Amino acid sequence: MANPAQRATKLFVQTFGTTADELYQAPGRINIIGEHSDYNEGLVLPVAINFHTVIAVKHRDDYQFRAVSDAFPGQIEQWEFGNEGNIDDDGLWFNYLKGITAAMAQSGLSAKGLDLAIVGNVPLGAGLSSSAALEIAFGTAISYADQLHLSPLAIAQIAQRAESQLMRQQCGIMDQMISALAESDHALLIDCLALDSEPVKLPDSLSLIVIDPQIDRKKFTAQFAERRQECFEIADILGLDSLRDLTHLQLQRAKQSLTETQYHRALHVMTESQRTASAARALQENNMPRFSELMRHSQHSLRENFDAVDPQADKLVTLIDELIGDNGGVRMSDGCIIALVDHSLTDDVINLVEQAFFKQTGRDAVIHLCSASSGASRL
């Protein structure tokens, strides 16, 4: 099959009857460690993957935008810059684009229109952040096409504001930052409060395997929203802006004012940020036993403190963990299973997952062998 860039070029001609001027891309992502950390303003360690959203664009002389996506064939959506209408009620695909122009207009920016044909291979709604890939590819396209000279971080902030405040979808800043700022062969250690980030070289010896355990996404999204709300309430009780700065001492002192459940939720958030900083160091130092241990502890805390694992997927994580031992790490990230393992174990992990998943569900497993990609760019 043709790659997304070729397909976007073709879709543009088929839709608009003329050729596109330029192509832009942005990647999806997985998060190595730092689960439920971004909205708590803690540390995360995502990596952009070699699945991308590509947009073919042509400049217009007016302020109109027209967009088509191969994921929603036959629909052409049109709107005017700064005049997006109501976009906060339904999560429709084109609202991710309208959110970007609306957020830009709110920031006092002005941009001429574009015709857009969108094609991607980031699976939609599968935990690999197709929404951020779409937003960042579009934000990058406008920035270049209109010579706005926005930094990748500025584009990420606009996109996050678009998705969280204007569309009212629950998201932190991680997805947009990694899609905009990633470097190939590196993860990115992000401080979600300061919005600082530091590339972390991944050891060459590691394969990056992503397994979609096909969990019930509706249930997962509802549980995510519940945990997020719980965290905000705990921060409120403790008189903190977010759980980011919670210390061991503060947590022990506040134990009386929290329920048992709230205590465990806070414990996860606090320890997860510490594990994330340590995991970044372990990867930099190629210290695989330490990295394995931190990934294991993260999964354990997600299960025991945060009560946020799918039991069947958790069983798969345990099986993979037993197979790889100290030669890599495995855990759940945004409902997917991610395993960073020594190349020599890649086939064994894939075989194990294929057999175990089929035994569990009677279906074939969806497994992606990924590489760490760079962030958004003009192609």
Structure tokens at 360: 């569990």
| Separation between Cα atoms, residue 51 and residue 241, nearest integer Å | 35
Structure tokens at 264: 């465990």
Structure tokens at 371: 């590489």
Are the C-beta atoms of residues 211 and 361 closer than 8 Å to each other? Answer: no
How far does CA 103 lie from the centroid of its chain? 20
Interface residues toward ligand ADP, by CB under 6 A: 53, 69, 71-72, 93, 96, 118, 120, 124-131, 134
Of 131 and 327, the one with the shorter C-beta distance to ligand ADP is 131
Of 131 and 262, the one with the shorter C-beta distance to Mg ion is 131
Structure tokens at 94: 């084109």
If binding is defined by CB under 5 A, does position 160 make contact with Mg ion? no
Of 9 and 176, the one with the shorter C-beta distance to Mg ion is 176
Which of the choices ligand ADP, Mg ion, none does residue 120 contact, using the CB cut-off of 5 to 8 A by kind? Answer: ligand ADP
| Separation between Cα atoms, residue 115 and residue 16, nearest integer Å | 8
Is 40 strand, coil or helix?
coil
- Least separation in angstroms between CB 346 and ligand ADP: 25
180, amino acid identity: A
Q: Which of 15, 37, 53, 131 binds Mg ion (CB under 5 A)?
A: 131
If binding is defined by CB under 5 A, does position 9 make contact with Mg ion? no
Are the C-beta atoms of residues 7 and 119 closer than 8 Å to each other? Answer: yes
Structure tokens at 367: 């497994």
Q: Which stretch binds Mg ion (CB under 5 A): 3-11, 14-22, 37-45, 121-129?
A: 121-129
Which of the choices ligand ADP, Mg ion, none does residue 127 contact, using the CB cut-off of 5 to 8 A by kind? Answer: ligand ADP
Query: Does the annotation mark 310 as catalytic?
Result: no
In the set 115, 175, 310, 321, the catalytic residue is 175
- The sheet that has 336-342: what strands, in order across it? 328-333, 336-342, 206-212, 366-370
Are the C-beta atoms of residues 210 and 49 closer than 8 Å to each other? Answer: yes
- Least separation in angstroms between CB 314 and Mg ion: 22
Which of the choices Mg ion, ligand ADP, none does residue 53 contact, using the CB cut-off of 5 to 8 A by kind? Answer: ligand ADP
- Least separation in angstroms between CB 120 and ligand ADP: 4
Q: Just list the catalytic residues.
A: 175
Q: Which residues bind Mg ion (CB under 5 A)?
A: 129, 131
